[in-house]
Structure 1
Amino acid sequence: MRVCFYGTDEEITRVCERPVLAVLGPRHAQPVLAFELFNVRVTADPYGAVFRLAADLSEVWERGERD
């Protein structure tokens, strides 16, 4: 899955520093999903105010969970 995050330099740096992102799910679904970022690319807004991080996400599975 391909995603984009928009934010300041500090916010984008925080996302890039974490190898795995946790996404909270709805109450009746799986409560937390973990994703690993790869193919990360960061570009700057021409006006310099906002950065855009584009990356692919791959769901992280625990051992034996994909049976």
Structure 2
Amino acid sequence: MRICFHGTADEISLVAGRPLLVLLTARDLPRMRVFELHHARVHAHPHLERYRFCALMTETTDEGRTA
């Protein structure tokens, strides 16, 4: 699955430097899901101070192995 975040340099730096991403889910699903990020890239808008962070992500189990 591919995921993208848009934001300022400070906002993107909070996400871009992490190998794992934890997402909270809706109430009918497991409370948290952990994803490993692969092939991460940051793209800068040429005229604005806005950035886009995109990566492929795969869900991992508690043991850190890909699900």
TM > 0.5: yes
* Cα RMSD for the two superposed structures: 1.7
Matched-pair identity in %: 38
1:49 counterpart = 2:56: no
> How many residue pairs end up in the alignment?
65
Q: Which ranges in structure 2 are unaligned for 5 or more consecutive residues? A: none
1:48 positional shift? 2.8
1:24 counterpart = 2:24: yes
Structure label with greater radius of gyration: 1
The two structures have a TM-score, normalised by structure 1, of 0.85
Runs of 4+ in 1 over 4 A off after TM superposition: none
The two structures have a TM-score, normalised by structure 2, of 0.85
1:5 counterpart = 2:5: yes
